[in-house]
Structure 1
Amino acid sequence: MKVFLFSKPFVIVATILFFQFCHTANSQFLESKIDSLLESKYRSTAPGAAFLVAKNGIPIYRKAFGKANLELNVPMRPENVFEIGSMTKQFTAIAILVLVEKGMLDLDDEILKFIPDYPSHGKKITIHHLLTHTSGIKNFTNMKALRDISKKDLTPLELIDFFKNEPMDFNPGEKFKYTNSGYFILGYIIESVSGITYKDYIEKNIFQKIGMESSLYASHSKVIKNRASGYHYRDDYINKMYISLTLPYASGSIMSTVDDLLKWQEALNQNVLVSQNTINKAYTNYTLNDGEYIDYGYGWHLKKINGVLSMEHGGSIFGFKSMGVYIPSEDVYVIGLSNCDCNSPTKITKEIAALVINEIYLNNGNKN
């Protein structure tokens, strides 16, 4: 019987090659599973989406599906620029926290400090209430009269005047109720304190600072390289309805790409914009007056995926939907951007995040 003896260097090299092979096989298996999910949801002949998955800040999946423009038959690419809707709220929240760090604001400041004639009905409505959707201020995007002004370009104060006299839904801090009105007011507060427009503040102090070169405050008239066209579905696909972008404003008027949104998440992780103590405030699960948790911080929903904490937020605006999920314990970020409000990426983005978590646990041998 022959006995084969291998040298120690040979064993080391063979072991390294084996683990590299396993890693490659696992990566290809994960990619194949994500492909299967997305190809079934976003058809090649329909409006599509761009998706990116990153681990430790490095993309491990980055693909696009469907069409960026149906009329010109242009395929979607990962570089395409989308309106991200309410994911804008993350940027507004961090902009507020930057001003707090600079000593220009306090989270306990009342809105009367910035809008003296706001009818608060004797109630103390603070910046904290606005950030956490616990202010009780009615959501202006649910008002029927909005259709009468939807195409008008309004100043922030003119839009605030539109909804400020509506009855409050509840006393500040009593309940959590998602409202765009609170983040709209936060945009005006940013302008009041900084002395420049919300658009200029975000572009100068966030986009330019962290190199988000394809991100901007949305515009209908500006020629935007790689812009994806937005669609609705009404028996067939139609071009998105026009609304003035002065309406979503600080609650939903940002455009971006999957690559830029990874830069955003990395800037937060590396404390480029605010300190760790400050970013922790954005990621805190706040409570109501009675101590009940609301599962929301400042601009982020705080949820769980497969029992693991996730920080997430979606967005919806005429013609577009978006979803971003960050898993801090695994440093995994998943972002999906769609150019039809008929085909939301919310559920599938969470499913992809769950897939990645499962693969990590399997590879580490500690799956529950």
Structure 2
Amino acid sequence: MVVPELNVDVSSALDGIFAPFNRSDVPGLVVGIAQHGKLLYRRGFGLASLEHGVANTPGTRMRIASISKHFTALLALLLVEDGKLDLDAPIRSYIPELTGPGGDPTVRQLLLHRGGSRCFIDIGILSRGLAVPPAGTGLATQVRQTGRNFAPGDSMLYNNGGYHLVSIAIERVGGASFEAQLKQRLFDPLEMRDTDSIPSDYSITPGIATMHTPVPGGGWRRGLFPSEENRGAGGIVSTIDDMLRWTDHLRTQDRFGSPATWAALTGLVPFPDGTIGGYALGLAVESYRGVRLVHHSGGVIGGTSQMLTAPDHGLDIVIMANGAPACSPVKLAEQALELILADHLGERTPTIAAADYKDLLGDWWSADTGMVYSLIGEEDVLKLSLCGASQGAPLKKAPDGRVILSAASMGTIELGLDDAARSHELTIRFAGQSAVYRKVSRETADVEAFVEAATGQYYSADADCTAVIAREGERIVLRCGDAYGQAECELVCLGEKVTCLAPAVTGWTAALSFSKQGGRMTGFQINLPRTRYLSFERKQIR
């Protein structure tokens, strides 16, 4: 096929998309776009290092974060070809230390985020903030869990801990370190010379951009991931050139892997109720305005990324950012896609005006799940967010009239807004499960009564963490600590027995549901983004 040159107008339009990041005083991003193997756009913007005044270039290395997941899945599939790994065997078959519920999921379920296990990263951030524990803490935390998010295969919840376990299994059966196997079997055959899996941000890595996080009130800090064992879930460092080699091979599939392996990588598996999710083995597969996309985004402390390919059009887009202000690689990739494939895209699914459901705006809590979701109006668009976060994802009206949110990691999320307007009960359905939520309010909550009942010290054996709830001036503070550090968050009271964490700069949040007896809180369950039903019991002071 002869591919025409990208015309000057389109190239200029791409420059226009990325122009806000063409600065010499802030972190930036790198962009690579190719079609049918022909390079269309290759630029660096902003600074790779504010500290040293070094600019981003197309050759700058950055973390691809969770885009790493499908590399892990593909390596596992190659080991299946070798007869060394069985995706349908319980992970306990390869990690016998997992004697509790964390050993029950199969390797495949973990790769699909359907294993139901909790995530050691969530638990670590809750317990110690960004303090870095020693290597081995990840597995030790997973082994310690006596509870889980759900029974294996019943639902789906995006989870880094599962991919960490798979990387350990790969290492144990593959005859070399996980990182060495990635290099030998995936990177080297494609001559991805600037790509490596680097478990720790504390390792000196030549050519890599500094990740940057903004400081409230001005200034920047280094973004350092709070783990020395970032492996199968998000450990890869690469360049846009290497990643474009990779995305090209995702379509040609001519260097390694059997047809069955490649089909398994992007195959979509039904949930128990028969609905189809949008997440395969480390890759999201969905239709965007009528165009089939295979993609995955990523995020680390101080960095974000997006890899997108439109196989039927041979279009590949890779964007990696190291803290560029107001930068969403996912949205930027969509803008580039819309520009290049403008003649192939269908109509947009319309968003919903927040004013249409103004009486439903606010926080909604489920006694069954313990989670809090929030309906917010952002630029007059109705959006769904987690635990009162100020930024959410837009809700849309499907052609059949359903109110939906397209979440590739869980398929379509459906909200019964019209029924909620009548019954004051909001049903949210996703990943093969549904739950009923009822409205709670920070405006009407009796904060003083909550503080009196909740103040005290609590302990979680699964997290091996002590938590203290206290009143400090106008703030209700949750202070957690384990053997390696501590973290402090502000609680927002939503009702007699419901709170959530105040939104943080990182966007990380959680919901807490309390048990009460005789006017005193006896414990609580905390629901984190990727860890649910984590119990804390009140400690008796002697």
TM range (shorter): 0.7 to 0.9
Decide which structure has greater strand share: 2
Give the one of 124, 140, 143 matched to 1:161. Answer: 140
Equivalent-residue separation in structure 1 for 2:151 and 2:306 (angstroms):
30
1:147 is matched with which residue? 128
The letter for the 2-side match of 1:36 is G
Equivalent-residue separation in structure 2 for 1:241 and 1:92 (angstroms):
24
Q: Confirm whether residue 348 of structure 1 aligns to residue 332 of structure 2.
A: yes
Whether the 8 Å contact between 1:267 and 1:273 is mirrored in structure 2 is no
| Residue 71 of structure 1: how far off its partner (Å) | 2.1
| Residue 121 of structure 1: how far off its partner (Å) | 3.8
Equivalent-residue separation in structure 2 for 1:138 and 1:224 (angstroms):
31
The letter for the 1-side match of 2:318 is I
2:207 is matched with which residue? 226
Q: Cα–Cα, structure 1 residues 221 and 46, in superposed 2: closer, same or farther, change >3 Å?
A: same
Whether the 8 Å contact between 2:100 and 2:146 is mirrored in structure 1 is no
Q: Cα–Cα, structure 1 residues 220 and 117, in superposed 2: closer, same or farther, change >3 Å?
A: closer
Q: Confirm whether residue 60 of structure 1 aligns to residue 70 of structure 2.
A: no
Q: Confirm whether residue 104 of structure 1 aligns to residue 104 of structure 2.
A: no
| Residue 154 of structure 1: how far off its partner (Å) | 0.8
Whether the 8 Å contact between 2:36 and 2:314 is mirrored in structure 1 is yes
Q: Confirm whether residue 298 of structure 1 aligns to residue 281 of structure 2.
A: yes
Whether the 8 Å contact between 1:139 and 1:178 is mirrored in structure 2 is no
Equivalent-residue separation in structure 1 for 2:231 and 2:281 (angstroms):
17
1:76 is matched with which residue? 56
2:270 is matched with which residue? 287
List alignment gaps of at least 5 residues for structure 1: 1-19
Whether the 8 Å contact between 1:187 and 1:249 is mirrored in structure 2 is yes
Equivalent-residue separation in structure 2 for 1:248 and 1:222 (angstroms):
12
The letter for the 1-side match of 2:50 is L
The letter for the 1-side match of 2:139 is I
1:13 is matched with which residue? none
Q: Cα–Cα, structure 1 residues 213 and 123, in superposed 2: closer, same or farther, change >3 Å?
A: closer
Q: Cα–Cα, structure 1 residues 280 and 210, in superposed 2: closer, same or farther, change >3 Å?
A: same
The letter for the 1-side match of 2:47 is K
| Residue 250 of structure 1: how far off its partner (Å) | 1.2
1:217 is matched with which residue? 197
Q: Which moved more, 1:339-348 or 1:60-69?
A: 339-348
User: What is the percentage of aligned positions where both structures have the same residue?
Assistant: 25
Q: Which moved more, 1:213-222 or 1:69-78?
A: 213-222
Q: Cα–Cα, structure 1 residues 352 and 166, in superposed 2: closer, same or farther, change >3 Å?
A: farther
Please, what TM-score do these two structures have when normalized by structure 2? 0.59
Whether the 8 Å contact between 2:320 and 2:329 is mirrored in structure 1 is yes
Give the one of 276, 282, 290 matched to 2:259. Answer: 276
1:200 is matched with which residue? 180
Whether the 8 Å contact between 1:80 and 1:227 is mirrored in structure 2 is yes
1:131 is matched with which residue? 111
3-state SS of paired residue (1:62):
strand
The letter for the 2-side match of 1:153 is P
| Residue 193 of structure 1: how far off its partner (Å) | 0.6
| Residue 228 of structure 1: how far off its partner (Å) | 1.1
Whether the 8 Å contact between 2:35 and 2:314 is mirrored in structure 1 is yes
Whether the 8 Å contact between 1:52 and 1:336 is mirrored in structure 2 is yes
3-state SS of paired residue (1:96):
helix
Alignment coverage as a number of residue pairs: 341
Q: Cα–Cα, structure 1 residues 317 and 122, in superposed 2: closer, same or farther, change >3 Å?
A: closer
Superposition pairs for residues 7-26 of structure 1, below 5 Å?
none
| Residue 119 of structure 1: how far off its partner (Å) | 3.7
Whether the 8 Å contact between 2:33 and 2:317 is mirrored in structure 1 is yes
Whether the 8 Å contact between 1:317 and 1:341 is mirrored in structure 2 is no
1:4 is matched with which residue? none
The letter for the 1-side match of 2:244 is L
Q: Cα–Cα, structure 1 residues 43 and 167, in superposed 2: closer, same or farther, change >3 Å?
A: farther
| Residue 45 of structure 1: how far off its partner (Å) | 2.3
Deviations 1:124-143 (A, max 9, x none): 41111011001111122222
Q: Cα–Cα, structure 1 residues 172 and 340, in superposed 2: closer, same or farther, change >3 Å?
A: same
2:95 is matched with which residue? 115
Q: Confirm whether residue 94 of structure 1 aligns to residue 74 of structure 2.
A: yes
List alignment gaps of at least 5 residues for structure 2: 349-542
Whether the 8 Å contact between 1:322 and 1:346 is mirrored in structure 2 is yes
Equivalent-residue separation in structure 2 for 1:317 and 1:197 (angstroms):
23
The letter for the 2-side match of 1:205 is R
Whether the 8 Å contact between 2:68 and 2:233 is mirrored in structure 1 is yes
3-state SS of paired residue (1:45):
coil
| Residue 290 of structure 1: how far off its partner (Å) | 2.0
Whether the 8 Å contact between 1:338 and 1:345 is mirrored in structure 2 is yes
Deviations 1:35-72 (A, max 9, x none): 11111245342111010111011211111111111122
The letter for the 2-side match of 1:75 is A
The letter for the 2-side match of 1:107 is L
Equivalent-residue separation in structure 2 for 1:44 and 1:131 (angstroms):
40
Give RMSD over aligned pairs. Answer: 2.6
Deviations 1:113-163 (A, max 9, x none): 0122314549841111011001111122222445368423313xx412213
3-state SS of paired residue (2:7):
helix
Equivalent-residue separation in structure 2 for 1:217 and 1:146 (angstroms):
27
The letter for the 2-side match of 1:38 is F
1:6 is matched with which residue? none
Please, what TM-score do these two structures have when normalized by structure 1? 0.85
Deviations 1:202-235 (A, max 9, x none): 1222112211100112254655443211100123
1:329 is matched with which residue? 312
3-state SS of paired residue (1:236):
coil
Equivalent-residue separation in structure 1 for 2:102 and 2:121 (angstroms):
25
Deviations 1:8-40 (A, max 9, x none): xxxxxxxxxxxx9xx66x621111111111112
Whether the 8 Å contact between 1:153 and 1:244 is mirrored in structure 2 is no
| Residue 174 of structure 1: how far off its partner (Å) | 1.2
Equivalent-residue separation in structure 2 for 1:206 and 1:108 (angstroms):
23
| Residue 106 of structure 1: how far off its partner (Å) | 1.8
Equivalent-residue separation in structure 1 for 2:103 and 2:94 (angstroms):
15
Deviations 1:292-349 (A, max 9, x none): 2110000101122222111110111112111011111101110000011753312111
| Residue 251 of structure 1: how far off its partner (Å) | 0.5
Whether the 8 Å contact between 2:64 and 2:305 is mirrored in structure 1 is yes
